[in-house]
Structure formats: structure tokens, C-alpha cells
Amino acid sequence: MINRLRRYIPVLDWGRTYDRRAFSNDMIAAVIVTIMLIPQSLAYALLAGLPPEAGIYASIAPIILYAIFGTSRALAVGPVAVVSLLTASAIGQIAEQGTAGYAVAALTLAFLSGGFLVLMGVFRLGFLANFLSHPVIAGFITASGLLIATSQLKHILGVTAQGHTLPEMVFSIVRHLSETNWITLVIGVTSTGFLFWVRKNLRPTLKTLGTPALLADILTKAGPVAAVVATTVAVWLFGLADGGVKIVGEVPQSLPPLTMPGLSPDLISALLMPAILISIIGFVESVSVAQTLAAKKRQRINPDQELIGLGAANLGAAFTGGYPVTGGFARSVVNFDAGAETPAAGAYTAIGLAIAAVALTPLVYYLPNATLAATIIVAVLSLVDLSILRKTWGYSRADFSAVAATIVLTLGLGVEVGVAAGVALSVMLHLYKTSRPHVAEVGLVPGSQHFRNIHRHEVETDPSLVTLRVDESLYFVNARFLEDLVQKRVTDGCDVRNVVLMCSAVNAVDYSALESLEAINQRLKDMDIGLHLSEVKGPVMDRLKRSHFIEEMNGRVFLSQYDAWRALAPCPSSKLSE
């Protein structure tokens, strides 16, 4: 019973052995992550089209719930760039930004996403995430990074612009270019340049100056905070808001409120598909991070329990004024590097953010949106990695097509279409590849019991015996291919008397393939040709025995191909092909 509870509530497991050393390590990590998260939470809320406090609220309850239900020791959940973009794209289609309906829809999205994740976890459907191939994910993340960076240009320029696809955004920005607010532009460009410099050069510079590593780390992570403070002070001091610089403005000074997601059937049916998409993308992103970090300490995460942890976090977000969350790459790595030992580190981060929500929010009144946009741009451009195109091109054209299609369609038609097309395309390409499996006609290597491709090796063959080695499982997509192939081979050579299918690489035979084998058997029987199998694997043979195929076969099943050769080749003639 307790063990069963422990499976669902991992905190019962690690909580028992929690000690002082773990506490102090977790605390240090929490301080660093909190400093990093304050500006990031505000910025991602902006990206999602929500009021800034939503970003902070989305980082508090979800972190605590994940600490209770999640299995990763280092994963930090909260708002992340890609999910914020998906949120904006999903809600943008049904409500105006800034309206109450928009915020309620965000809660509903988090609620549906949380419910879906929990259901997937309970029914152990984590494997569904595998339908997203790595190239599709890589292409999608890269394209999302580009989309997000582009979407922030309007804040840097201080103009209003719309659109959820790259062409829409670019056209909209260009149309409004004349309205550029020059003070905003200066703030935005300076902040972006400063943040890039911090990210690239601060740590090495501090190192040459002899700063201790931990301090250098904290200072680097505090870069966005410095930008926030500097630009906020500048706006306040010089009254730049009167000059048209858009600022964050009033942020309520409160702990996360209790909120109720909208549950009208219309809203649910409009947001269900986006919620599923967000869940799966968020889960994939989160689980890869968690797995990588766990491996470094020889720990293991449980993907199905991760679903429950992330689901609980999203349900938490739905009822505390947040929006969809997931495990973020940057924050988790920072958490891990800073020495977090248990999920308690996340809980301390939540406390830090709660204090910020109550005490610090008045201080960001004059914070310019351009600074937040700069932190987003700098963060997401690290997601953009076009090298995946080169890598997949070199490795496999099919994978390359999947990446390229995902990138082009995500940029050109939006995130939902892009990822759906990527998934569909990679499934189609996989099925296409297995629909034309590699099949070798084999002969005996003289003086051995090995059989090799007659077109590659000097082997013995017999004109009356055709042996085909099929290098693929037989299932509906390639069943007819096999029929065609056998038919072609035996109608090409008139003196064929026996056909052997060598099944050493056949891992499964589904019902379609069984019917194809039956059809092949029947057709060969009509032509007075025998059909034989060799080297059939145990599980495949077990299954074939459930049908009448083996009894009705116009031939035999040989344990080894050599047995088949000895039984069926009356007058082998050595043959040298090409």
C-alpha cells in the first residue's frame, strides 16, 4: 500500500531521507533559480499575451505540485518559451488579448492540458510522445525560436503588430515600421546587446578577474535582473513612459489568487486539440531534460509518473491564475548545476517567487516591455539550431524532409500545422521506407553453411530454387510488395520449382501479411511451385501456428536455410554474378 502510494507520490520516498546537507544545497540552488525566474516569468507572460503576474503565479503552485508528484530531482517547471507561444497561438484564435476571456481561456488551457497529462499518466500512455520524432522536435523548436524572436520585435520597436506566422508578423511589423518609438528602440537594442554580451562574455571576463566560480555564476544569471533594474530606473528617472515607452504598469501585489478555469463546452471543444498538442510537446521537452539530468547522477525518472507530475503542475496553474507550464530546459540546467539535490529546491524557489509576488511587484511598474522582449529574444535564440538540417541531410534524406517540412510549415502556417504535418510526414516516410523493404536473393557461400546476396558475392545457386531473404517485418504496408516481388521473380524465371522465404530478419507477421503469404502460396500452388520458409523466429512461428497457413503451405518450414538448401537444391551450379 505504502509502496503503491510511493509510486504515485514520490515525495514520500525522497522526503524520508532529507537532511541538512541536502537542505543547504537545495537552498543555494533555489536562490539562483529565483533570481533567474523573476524577469523570465514576466517575459514569458508577455509572450503568452497575459498580464505579467500570470507568469509569476504560473511558477509557484506548479513548482510545488511537481515537487510532490514528479520523479526528476532537478527538473524546474514553470512557463517556458515554446509553450507560451503555443498558448498565445491557441487562445489568440478565440479571444482578444487583454480581455478577461483571454485570461480565463489560458486557465482552461492549463486545466485541459493538466487533465490530459494526468489521464495519460494513469493509463500509461507516455509512449504517445514517441510519435514526435527527434527531427520533428528539433525542427519545431528551431522554428518556434525564430517565431518567438520575431514576435518580440514589435516590443523592441514599440509598435503594434499581429500575426501567428512568420510572413504575417514580418508584414505587420513592416507596415507599422513608421510608428517606431525611438526611445523604446534604444532601450530594446541596448538591453538585447547587453544580455548577449553577458551570456557570452561575462563569465570568462569574471574568471580572468579571479572571481570565485559560484559568484561568477550568480552574476551571470543575474544579467537579466541587472537589465531590468537599469531600464526600470531609467524610465522612472527620465519619465520615459510619457515619451511613449510601453511599461509593465500596475501588477497586483498578492499571492497567487484562487481562480476557476472556464468550462463551457464551446471553450473546451475549441481548446482541446491545442491542449493535447501543448501537453505532448511540453511532456517531450520536459522528459528529455529530466532524463539527461537524471542520467548524470545514475538516477532514473519514470516517464508515466512524470506525466502525472506535469499534469498536477498544470492543474495547479489552472486554479491559481497561471497558464500551461512544463519543465524548462534552461532553468532545470541552472537548478542542476547550482547543486539542487531534491525537488525541495523547487519548493524553496516557489517561496522566493511568492515573496517577489507580494513584495516586489510595485518595483516593476516602470519596467519597459522592450527589456522583457530582449530577455526573451536572447533566451530563445539559443533554441534555434539550424545545424539539424545539415546533420539529417548527411544521415538520411527522409529525416531531412521531416525537419525541413516542419520548419517551413511552422514558420509559414503556424505552430499547430507545422507540428501536425511533421508528425504525419515522419509516420508516412517510415511506412514508405518499410513498404519497400530490402530483399536479397541469396545463394550458398561455397564450403560454408552461410547464405549471401547473389549480386554481391560469389555463391552457389540452383536454377530451380529461388531463396529470398526479407530484411523487414511483414505487415500490411509491405504485404503486397512481397506478393508482387515473388510473382515477378517466378514469372521471370520459367524453370523455378521452389521458393524459400528466409525469415531471419522478420520480427513480426501481421494478419495482412499472413493473407499475402496465403495468396502467394495459392498462386505458387497454381503454378506448381513449392513455397517454403526458413529460419522463422520463435514468436513469429508461434503466431503463424495460430492460423492454418502452416498446414496449407505447399512446402515446408526449415529450421535453417542450409537444411532448405540440402533438401531442395538437386543440381546446384556455381554462379558468379557481377
Kindly identify the residues of this chain, within the stretch 282-341, that bind its own copies according to CB under 8 A. 287, 291-292, 294-296, 298-300, 303
Closest distance of CB 545 from its own copies, Å: 10
Q: How far is the CB of 553 from its own copies (least distance, A)?
A: 16
Site for its own copies in 59-88 (CB under 8 A): none
Contact 446, 421 (CB under 8 A): no
Rule CB under 8 A: choose which of 121, 322, 414, 437 binds its own copies: 437
Stretch that binds its own copies, among 7-15, 161-169, 325-333, 392-400 (CB under 8 A): 392-400
> What single letter denotes the amino acid at residue 353?
L
How far is Cα 193 from Cα 378, in angstroms, rounded to an integer?
A: 9
**Alpha-carbon distance 27 to 529, whole Å?**
77
Q: Which is nearer to its own copies, 205 or 504 (CB)?
A: 504
Cell numbers linked to 462: 540452383
Identify the residue among 42, 132, 312, 415 touching its own copies (CB under 8 A). Answer: 132
Residues contacting residue 549 through CB under 8 Å, at least 6 positions apart? 514, 517, 518, 521
Please identify, using beta-carbon distances, which residue of 66 and 475 lies nearer to its own copies.
475
Contact between 442 and its own copies by CB under 8 A: the answer reads no
523 near its own copies, rule: CB under 8 A: yes
Angle at which helices 397-413 and 166-175 cross, to 10°: 40
Q: Please report, in angstroms and rounded to a whole number, the separation of the first and last CA atoms in the chain.
A: 68
Euclidean distance between CA atoms 188 and 368, whole angstroms: 9
Instruction: Give how many residues touch its own copies by CB under 8 A.
Output: 73
Q: Which residues pair with 78 in a beta bridge?
A: 326
Is 394 an interacting residue with respect to its own copies (CB under 8 A)? yes
Among the listed ranges 51-59, 65-73, 233-241, 435-443, the one in contact with its own copies (CB under 8 A) is 435-443
Nearer to its own copies, 143 or 524 (CB): 524
Give the Å distances, CA to CA, from 488 to 279, 439, 481, 483, 526.
48, 13, 10, 9, 15
Contact by Cβ (8 Å): 425, 401: yes
Determine contact, residues 322/256, Cβ cutoff 8 Å: yes
> E strands along 311-426, which residues?
326-327
What residues between 151 and 190 interact with its own copies by CB under 8 A? none
Least CB distance to its own copies at residue 480 (A): 5
The answer to whether the beta carbons of residues 445 and 453 sit under 8 Å apart is no
* Gap between the Cα atoms of 187 and 102, Å rounded: 29
Candidates 186, 386, 445, 519; binder of its own copies (CB under 8 A) is 519
Q: Report the SS3 class of residue 510.
A: coil
Q: Which 459-518 residues touch its own copies, going by CB under 8 A?
A: 471-473, 475-481, 483-484, 487-488, 490-491, 504-505, 507-508, 510-512, 514-516
Q: Using the rule CB under 8 A, which residue among 26, 285, 399, 441 binds its own copies?
A: 399
Specify whether the CB–CB gap between 29 and 306 falls below 8 A: no
The residues, ordered by sequence, that sit 6+ positions from 215 with a Cβ below 8 Å of its Cβ are 206
Binding-site member from 207, 390, 438, 575 for its own copies (CB under 8 A):
438
Burial (CB < 10 A; 0-12, 13-18, 19+), residue 256, is buried
| Shortest separation between residue 299's beta carbon and its own copies, angstroms | 7
Give the three cell numbers for residue 98.
487583454
Q: How near is the Cβ of 286 to its own copies at its closest, in Å?
A: 13
Of 12-20, 31-39, 374-382, 519-527: span binding its own copies (CB under 8 A): 519-527
What is the Cα–Cα distance from 207 to 204, expressed in whole angstroms? Answer: 5
C-alpha 344/C-alpha 427 separation (Å) is 40
Give the residue, chosen from 6, 199, 430, 457, that forms a contact with its own copies under the rule CB under 8 A. Answer: 430
Binder of its own copies out of 11, 18, 23, 134 (CB under 8 A):
134
Interface with its own copies (CB under 8 A), residue from 97, 396, 464, 560:
396
Q: Which of residues 208-227 bind its own copies (CB under 8 A)?
A: none
Shortest separation between residue 461's beta carbon and its own copies, angstroms: 20
For the chain, the farthest-separated pair of C-alpha atoms sits apart, in whole angstroms, at 100
Nearer to its own copies, 179 or 484 (CB): 484
Nearer of residues 200 and 397 to its own copies, judged by Cβ: 397
To the nearest whole angstrom, how small is the minimum distance from the Cβ of residue 329 to its own copies?
15
Q: How far is the CB of 576 from its own copies (least distance, A)?
A: 20
Window 12 to 51, contacts with its own copies (CB under 8 A): none
Binding positions for its own copies, 525-564, rule CB under 8 A: 526-527, 537, 539, 543, 546-547
Residues linked to residue 459 through DSSP beta bridges, in sequence order: 575
